[in-house]
Structure 1
Amino acid sequence: MSLVGENLDLPDFYAAEFAEHKDVAAATERALMAPFQQLLEASIKAIEGGGKILFFGNGGSASDAQHIATELTVRYVTDRAPIAAIALTTDTSALTAIGNDMGFEELFARQVAALGRPGDVAVGISTSGRSRNVIRGLEAARDQGLIAAALSGGDGGQLAGLADPLLIVPSRTTARIQEMHIMLGQMLCGALEKSLGLVQGHG
């Protein structure tokens, strides 16, 4: 006897989730080519100039930051030279010290101030665009001459007018926005590998 069915119409739920995902993916593809190109070009310039890319976010977005940074420093498609990237979500000593001594809002701003250099790219990830520590991190990045970029959703929240480039996934469903964020992040990895001449192939 199936345990599914009393409270869930599984076939309907299953189909609806895929349908929404495909709709959001198609809308994202239509909307974000230009800002994605901006992010790629800024990242190429940073890496070729000896700089790096800093990623940060909260919760699922923290996981995305770590995932993308790892793809860059280790490998994405195949073995190649590393690409300099750091997720500002992994140093528990720094996170707890900053949170305790300076407040949660300063988690990323303090690390950007310590590690960022002019010409680096800071990528804040916030599905709502209203995460105060992500906003503060990007403000610190802009103040220090970094490229302050972001991945968001909905209307972009308070990242609109702050982050440039700003990649806003055209959805208000957190799960769909997160799915597009990791796709865009992995696309950035693949495009960087090819653009930097680290992986051969067309496209």
Structure 2
Amino acid sequence: MTAARAVLLTRLTASIEAKRALLSDPDRIAAFEAIADVVVATYKSGGRLYIAGNGGSAADAQHLAAEFVSKLARDRAPLAAEALTVDTSILTAIGNDYGFDAVFSRQIEGKMTAKDIFLGITTSGNSRNILEALRTCRKLNIRTIIFSGGNGGLAAEEADHCLLAPSEITSTIQEIHIIFAHALCECVENAMFPLRST
């Protein structure tokens, strides 16, 4: 077996095992259901979704915001969502003036209200700027969700809702997070724009 084949098979096996573990875990499924319900309720009450993460999770935040604002799989009206990872002037100004730990919390203070909901994506659960974001949300009575992995780290204690990928491997956690994100968007689409039978 070549080294490349061994890596691919290892990664595929880890991904399949994590998905099987998720399928057979009623607590994680229930946590997802609760998150879907609270996001739907947020939109029905006129709120917005704000998302943040670092590195690959920053890309996932942008990916999810795009699915909400544009569409996932069918035409419908846009849903208000914003990734707090995209404005380089804001990120560098806050980072320079207040430090990198404040790049999300400062935006939350300026943009979000108690009608909105925050989704933090952190594979470790210990990203300091995500933890600061969660603490700021708590002060402002803003509901919070975390997508993480492993035991959820410190973020699992700070968030109102926590959904954990059943893995300790960063790349596998990120794969599961995309499944969470797509499924969440689909649930919200279905609730907000139900298909009409003819």
Find out whether 1:187 has 2:190 as its counterpart.
Answer: no
Overall identity of the aligned pairs, in %: 37
User: Helix, strand or coil for the counterpart of 1:150?
Assistant: strand
Q: Within 2, Cα distance between the matches of 1:83 and 1:161?
A: 29
Q: Which has the larger radius of gyration?
A: 1
Q: Determine which of 12, 20, 36 is the counterpart of 1:18.
A: 12
Query: Partners in 1 of 2:196 and 2:117 — Cα distance?
Result: 26
**Is 2:112 aligned against 1:116?**
yes
Match of 2:76 in 1: 80
- Distance, in Å, in 2 between the alignment partners of 1:98 and 1:151 is 24
In structure 2, what is the equivalent of residue 59 of structure 1?
Answer: 55
Instruction: Please give the TM-score of this superposition, normalised by the length of structure 1.
Output: 0.92
Alignment-derived partner of residue 131 in structure 1: 127
- CA shift in 2, pair 1:30/1:165, >3 Å: farther
Q: Aligned ranges for residues 122-161 of structure 1 at < 5 Å?
A: 122-161=118-157
**Which blocks of at least 5 consecutive residues in structure 1 are unaligned?**
none
Q: Unpaired runs of 5+ in structure 2?
A: none
Q: CA deviation at 1:28?
A: 2.2
In 2, distance between residues paired with 1:165 and 1:122?
10
**Kept in 2: contact 1:53–1:123 (CA 8 A):** yes
Partner SS state of residue 103, structure 2: helix
CA RMSD in angstroms comes to 1.5
Tell me the matched-pair count. 195
CA distance in 2, matches of 1:13, 1:65: 27
- Using the size of structure 2 for normalisation, the TM-score is 0.94
